[in-house]
Every structure is written in C-alpha cells, then in structure tokens.
Chain A
Amino acid sequence: SANSENRSPGFWRSYVYKEVEVTTVDGREHRGWVHTVDPVSESVVLVHFEEDRQKTVEIVMGHAVKGITVVNEDMDSHREELDHMFVTADDTNFSK
C-alpha cells in the first residue's frame, strides 16, 4: 500500500501534474489532477477541473490512502493552472 512506508519526495513528486485515482481505506475513489503531495503527512491535493471552470480541490489525508494509480500521464495539460492556483501576487516576493 502507498501508506505502509515513508516514500521519497521524488516518488511523490512524480505524481505532480498527473491525473490520478486515489483509493482510500473506506473503499472510496478520488480522482483528480495532483497539485502536490505533502511530504510530511503524505496527504494528496487533487484538483477537479469542471467544464464551467468551477474548480474543486480535494485533500486526501495521507493516513487514509490505500493506493494511488496514474490515469493520465499528460503532465502539460493542466500544468499552468496547477502552478498558479494558490500563488498570490504577495507570495512571489518571498519565493526563491
């Protein structure tokens, strides 16, 4: 299971920008584009892009993750949006 051991940051980073399906311990499936995976809690942040551009973001808690499968490898289709989603003008002053 994805939760049984501590994975490397590189392992988690390989999912960023891809569309995945996360299965949780309650048997539910969570599908979305990976914005990030918190390297501390291993919680997965998924974004659902809707037709009318209304977006939903879902966080799946690391401890509840049973498995994660890539369903779309195309890392460029939502890269721009995923990168700019939570960054405000204020933040750019602090990064790098």
Chain B
Amino acid sequence: MEDGVDDKTQNNDILQSTSTTNDDRLSQEQEDRSFLRERFLHFLKGIQGKRTHFKMYEKTEVDATFQLSDIDGQNFLVSDLETPMGTQPQAMLRCADIISCSVDIGTGEHKM
C-alpha cells in the first residue's frame, strides 16, 4: 500500500517537473529566436546602401546596391541593378531566385 502512495507522489512530482521543463524550453526557444532575429535585422540594416553581389539560379550573377528586405524575407529591394540589358535604377529581387549574396563591409569598424 505504501508503495502505491509513493508511486502517486512520484507521478505528481514528474508531472510538475515536466511542465516546468516545458515552460523553460519555450522561454529558451523564444530567447534563441529573438537573439537570432535581432542579429539578422541588424545585419540587414548594416548592409543597407552597400554594393552587393547576387548569385542566382541558372548561373546568373548580378550586382546591385542593397536597400531593403520585406518583413518575411520574400523580396529584396535594390537600386542600380546591373543586368546584361542595362542598369535598373530600382528593382525588386525575388529571394526565391537568389542562392546567396555577398557584401564587402570594409574594415568592419562600426559607425558611431
């Protein structure tokens, strides 16, 4: 009988600790998400106005000045896009067409 009582107490303990672990896990996940996203947004802001080299599908490579990204990262707004058919003063690049893009950020000394 005593064993039965012990089991029940133990089960309650387990239930309690599981829910605390879940809360901890969720807040850790939220912390990780905001850490990553904040750094990404700072990065987007940091490359604003810089010449960017885009590697796209079908072996297409173009240069443009990075301006903005929409909030869900579907499109990049760029300016002075150099294409084989001439330079576009303003253009929207679909992120789905881009594989990677690179930017020279000089010595990396941050603006004050």
Contact = CB atoms under 8 A, between A and B. Distances in A.
Interface of A: 8-10, 12-13, 16, 24-26, 28, 30, 35-41, 43, 45, 53-61, 63-64, 81, 84-89, 91, 95
Given A55-B105, A57-B43, A61-B99, A87 B110 contact: yes
A13 B95 contact: no
A70 to B, nearest CB: 17
A61 B101 CA distance: 8
**What are the 10 closest A-B residue pairs judged by CB atoms, nearest first?**
A86-B46, A9-B32, A36-B39, A41-B73, A86-B42, A9-B33, A38-B40, A58-B102, A64-B99, A13-B32
Given A10-B32, A56-B103, A58-B100, A38 B46 contact: no
Interface residues of B, number: 36
B46 A26 contact: no
B110 A61 contact: no
A39 B37 contact: yes
A40 to B, nearest CB: 6
Contacts of B33: 9, 39
Contact of B100 (A9, A61, A95): A61
Interface in B24-40: 28-30, 32-33, 35-40
21 contacts: A9-B32, A10-B28, A12-B32, A24-B99, A26-B55, A28-B100, A37-B36, A37-B40, A39-B32, A39-B36, A39-B37, A53-B108, A54-B104, A57-B103, A58-B102, A61-B98, A64-B99, A86-B39, A86-B110, A87-B42, A88-B110
